[in-house]
Amino acid sequence: MQSKKIIDDFCHLIGKDINIMEVCGTHTVSIFKSGIKSILPNNLKLLSGPGCPVCVTSIEDIDKAIAYSMLDDAILTTFGDMMRVPGSDMSLYEAKAEGARIEIVYSPMECLKIAEKNKDKKVIFFSAGFETTAPLTAATLVEAETRGIDNLFVFSVHKLVPPALRLLLQSGEVRIDGFILPGHVSTIIGSKPYEFIPEEFSIPCCITGFGAEDILLGITMILKQIIDNKPTVDIQYKRSVKPEGNIKAIEFMNNTFSVCDSNWRGIGVLPQSGLKLNEKWAHRDSEKVFDIKVQSKPEPKGCQCGLILRGIKTPPECPLFAKFCTPEHPVGACMVSSEGSCSAYYKYRLQ
Amino acid sequence: MCLAIPSKIISIDNLMATVDVMGARRDVSLILLPEEADVGDYVLVHAGFALQKIDEETAQESLKLWREYAEFLEKEAMYEDT
């Protein structure tokens, strides 16, 4: 295979240890599924970063979502991925089993139908996800306004990818020589928001597609930047990603949300790393419309998710991994979602 | 979570389209699409919304890059030999 030989030769030319981090859960899964790690030379290591919005949703936000679902006359709507994320005492799935009104939607647009069908209820959409998903919620709110659907509200726990990468780099806890950047987040935001990475930290980046061939080429483009000593933000995934991103989606996002501090599970509060509804949408913002208080428990003892999300430890280095923490009974964030690194490790490495 | 799937547009009605996603038909919104799309175009769909039209001919572009890298290595090898 020619691509393998080129990667081998590039790594030989570089002649030192190289750490490349992927920051998207879909990449993590694709890397495991395809067995890419097994063909890479010894001095090239792939690390998984904080790449799954399900995993980084805080315990407090899950507790709040459950509290909303238990309000009188409320229906909480959510993506299916969020159902099994453990809160302090239970997950949304368990809350539903106990009678809470929770409906799974495939698209935020489905919330409109649910709201129209249940005019006497308050429909609260638990809006999680990175920049890929936020514009969808924005467009749905605009549609609700146009159609006069007044009983739809949003609980926004959206997170932003670039600020998390900045924190990783500023902490200096792990050496990163290159970033495989997410393909679909970047379809929305383009390449500009990552430019601080090569400019301020001299670290090569490549926005990469999700097939095994895409990832191999993305890695090679990063290696070439290292060889040439010209760090930049390359785009391998050109069939979907434009440098300017999706201007229309960005506009929807900017008109609806404002940037806020956000609590990342396992990591803590990161400044300016999340999205909340802006003032114009206060009447749809669940945090402003409904008065709920939650008392959340700290993250479980022994759980190493924080270190795993930052690439400092690998899942098998966690004392809970595969013993007390499994995909069926997840303790920590990274085991919860099928795109979390612990879950991917469990599924593909232990087989 | 950020999974998006290439889908072919079967029909368009204003800002909604019916697409074929790996054999299944789905209705998706075109409201976030930055450029106009026609029946027969492929779009990237995430949770009920088309996010981008997908360009073709990238396989060619990838091959071109791999060839460039191979040539670069050949030159490096020649340099090392001399």
Neighbours of A72 (CB within 10 A): 6
Q: Considering the domain A1-301, what is its CATH architecture?
A: 3-Layer(aba) Sandwich (3.40)
Greater model confidence, A336 or A159: A159
Local confidence band at B64 (pLDDT 50, 70, 90 cut-offs): confident
Q: Check whether B62 has a pLDDT greater than 80.
A: no
- Contact assignment for B66 to A240 by CB distance below 8 Å: no
Q: Check whether A230 has a pLDDT greater than 90.
A: yes
Mean pLDDT, residues A183-202: 97
Greater model confidence, A76 or A341: A76
**Residue B43: closest CA among chain A residues belongs to which residue?**
A240
Q: Which residues in chain A belong to E strands, given as ranges?
A: 18-22, 44-48, 74-79, 102-105, 122-127, 152-156, 158-159, 178-181, 205-207, 233-235, 257-264, 268-277
**pLDDT value of residue A351:** 52
Interatomic CA distance for residues A29 and A52, integer angstroms: 11
**pLDDT value of residue A229:** 97
Interatomic CA distance for residues A235 and A205, integer angstroms: 9
| Sign of the alpha-carbon torsion through A230, A131, A166, A304 | negative
Range of the domain at B44: 5-81
CATH number at residue B35: 2.30.30.140
Q: Per DSSP, what are the bridge partners of residue A263?
A: A269
Q: What is the pLDDT of residues B34-46, one digit of tens each?
A: 999 999 999 999 9
Chain A residues near residue B72 by CB distance under 8 angstroms: 224
Local confidence band at B59 (pLDDT 50, 70, 90 cut-offs): low
**pLDDT value of residue B58:** 60
- Contact assignment for B51 to A184 by CB distance below 8 Å: yes
pTM over 0.90: yes
The answer to whether the CB of A51 falls within 8 A of the CB of A21 is: no
Interatomic CA distance for residues A184 and A203, integer angstroms: 21
Mean pLDDT, residues A262-270: 90
Q: Check whether A349 has a pLDDT greater than 90.
A: no
User: Does the interface ipTM go beyond 0.90?
Assistant: no
Average model confidence (pLDDT) across chain A? 94
Cβ neighbors of A266 (< 8 A, separation 6 or more) are A55, A56, A299, A303, A305, A306, A308, A309, A332, A333, A334
**pLDDT value of residue A100:** 96
> In angstroms, what CA-CA distances link A273 with A164, A245, A276?
7, 19, 10
Interatomic CA distance for residues A263 and A257, integer angstroms: 17
Tally helices (H) and strands (E) across chain B.
1, 5
B55 in contact with A at a CB cutoff of 8 Å? yes
Chain A residues near residue B58 by CB distance under 8 angstroms: 238-239
Where do the domains of chain A lie?
1-301, 305-349
Looking only at the bridges linking them, the beta strands covering A102-105 and A74-79 are parallel
**Residue B55: closest CA among chain A residues belongs to which residue?**
A239
The lowest-confidence range among A41-45, A177-181, B76-80 is B76-80
Q: What is the pLDDT of residues A269-326, one digit of tens each?
A: 999 999 999 999 999 999 999 999 999 998 888 899 888 988 899 999 999 999 999 9
Mean pLDDT, residues A46-67: 92
- Among B2, B47, B32, B12, residue whose Cα is nearest residue A237: B2
The answer to whether the CB of B54 falls within 8 A of the CB of B44 is: yes
**pLDDT value of residue B77:** 78
Question: How many pairs of residues across A and B have Cβ atoms under 8 Å apart?
Answer: 117
The Cα angle at residue A127 between residues A123 and A128, in degrees rounded to 5: 155
**pLDDT value of residue A95:** 96
Cβ neighbors of B68 (< 8 A, separation 6 or more) are none
Domain count, chain B: 1
- Percentage of the residues of chain A whose pLDDT score is greater than 90: 80
Q: What is the pLDDT of residues A5-33, one digit of tens each?
A: 999 999 999 999 999 999 998 999 999 98
Which residues numbered 28-47 in B keep a CB inside 8 Å of some CB on A? Answer: 29, 31-34, 44, 46-47
